[in-house]
């Protein structure tokens, strides 16, 4: 999705999700424990990620999107990080993906302490977990043990876009082993990040070629967005996916509350609140106190899609190139 979404213990919350007793395939919590002497590679990575987050809180949206785009193409194998004239990052849906340099910095830090052991694929999962936590989304245990992919090709990139219908989205997520509820939870990442006006202009001025705005959109929001996204603008402005001015960088269930108020920004966001397949889940999450824990569980499931483990793939020396290059 081009719309960026758009995952320290906080003074309010202290919500943690513990998956120590569970595993997906060969992944496990604490995979690197004892493999790097006394070095705690997750803590080393967290130092890099924390510093970056406090410099730029929008890092949370960037890394959530980076992980989603990686895992939905050939699984969570860090293939999106590879440079090249025809690599995944050159595909149109990935041209506005950010966060590569953050993973580079984390990789350099862990390589300095423990060379040749920690995969770039695991660093994506660890870094995303850390920024979700820093942004108020609760902390969840990341299972590690992924290895890095050997193939990165733009032709393999096929991602659900922001104008996708709910049934189409359900099918796309189901193809990756994710349930309807997990899909709606993961779209809660749209409580952070931005969307370009070009993705919502049809809703504002010519919904389904009617020459009118989307009747499902709150009129007050419509007026705000029309002023931000005029019909003949020469610059493709951006708008926050979460119009709650108090939490533009906070992972929370306000996303579902705004959808129920007809204030969803992207078409797929608003449709979740009206489609009978997803509306009950949205209603439940809008009033849920355990959203951080449930979001964390869905992120763990996302991070287990199509992983390489054992002797599959490799541990890259540089996240931007396979070792054979």
Q: Which residues are annotated as a binding site?
A: 70, 73, 75, 77, 79, 88, 160, 190, 242
Among all residues, which ones are annotated catalytic?
A: 69
Neighbours of 284 (CB within 10 A): 15
For 49, the 3-state DSSP assignment is helix
Neighbours of 1 (CB within 10 A): 26
Binding residues for Ca(2+): 70, 73, 75, 77, 79, 88, 242
Binding residues for heme b: 190
For 117, the 3-state DSSP assignment is coil
CA quadruple 222, 227, 229, 232: dihedral sign: positive
Binding residues for substrate: 160
Residue 273 CA to residue 259 CA, distance in Å, equals: 6
Long-range contact pairs involving 205-212 (C-beta distance under 8 Å, separation at least 24): 205/231
């Amino acid at each position: 999705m081009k719309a960026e979404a758009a995952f320290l213990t906080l003074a309010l919350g202290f919500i943690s999700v513990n998956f120590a007793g569970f595993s997906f395939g060969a992944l496990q919590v604490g995979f690197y424990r004892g493999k790097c002497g006394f070095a705690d590679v997750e803590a080393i990575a967290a130092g890099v990620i924390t510093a970056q987050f406090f410099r730029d809180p929008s890092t949370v949206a960037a890394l959530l999107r980076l992980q989603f785009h990686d895992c939905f193409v050939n699984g969570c194998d860090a293939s999106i990080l590879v440079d090249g004239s025809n690599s995944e990052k050159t595909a149109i849906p990935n041209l506005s993906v950010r966060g590569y340099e953050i993973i580079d910095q984390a990789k350099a830090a862990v390589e300095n302490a423990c060379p040749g052991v920690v995969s770039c694929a695991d660093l994506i999962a660890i870094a995303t977990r850390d920024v979700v936590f820093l942004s108020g989304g609760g902390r969840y245990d990341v299972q590690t043990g992924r290895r890095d992919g050997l193939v990165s090709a733009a032709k393999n990139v096929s991602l659900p876009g922001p104008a996708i219908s709910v049934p189409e989205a359900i099918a796309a997520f189901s193809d990756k082993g994710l349930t309807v509820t997990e899909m709606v939870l993961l779209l809660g990442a749209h409580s952070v990040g931005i969307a370009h006006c070009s993705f919502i202009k049809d809703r504002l001025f010519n919904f389904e070629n009617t020459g009118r705005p989307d009747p499902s959109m709150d009129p007050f929001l419509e007026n705000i967005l029309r002023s931000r996204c005029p019909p003949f603008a020469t610059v493709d402005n951006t708008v926050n996916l979460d119009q709650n001015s108090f939490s533009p960088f906070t992972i929370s269930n306000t996303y579902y509350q705004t959808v129920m108020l007809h204030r969803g920004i992207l078409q797929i966001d608003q449709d979740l609140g009206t489609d009978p397949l997803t509306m009950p889940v949205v209603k439940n999450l809008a009033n849920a106190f355990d959203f951080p824990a449930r979001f964390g569980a869905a992120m763990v499931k996302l991070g287990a899609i199509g992983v390489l483990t054992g002797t599959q793939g490799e541990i890259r020396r540089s996240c931007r190139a396979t070792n054979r290059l």
